[in-house]
Amino acid sequence: MGDWLALLGFGARAGSLAIGVEAVRNDLQAGKLACVILADDASPRALEKVARLAAGKEIPVYRGVSADVLGQRLGRPPVMAAGVRDRKLADGIGRSAADGH
């Protein structure tokens, strides 16, 4: 889990993320995201807005941390959703998540 969270932090510093449910939703609709991170404790409304749209666009969705932890990694208050715009970064997150890191 830590490895992909570190990658997510790099993405935030590089400006390669959409942070928050509305920003993620907007970027999903615009076709700008390579993957989505959803907090384990995301609200049902956030899940409906983001997870369904990502599934419809065949964008991978990763979970495994709370909104508090996600927000801390991104230097923000609790964050329910983040989207990764950079394809290589998203690939690295996907590999790390698949390895269980």
- Could you list the mean pLDDT of each consecutive 10-residue stretch along the chain, which spans 101 residues? 78 93 97 96 92 95 93 93 96 83 50
Closest CA relative to residue 57, chosen from 36, 72, 76, 42: 36
pTM metric for this prediction: 0.91
Q: Residue 100: what pLDDT?
A: 61
Q: How far is CA 33 from the centre of its chain?
A: 9
**Domains of the chain from N-terminus onward:** 2-98 (3.30.1330.30)
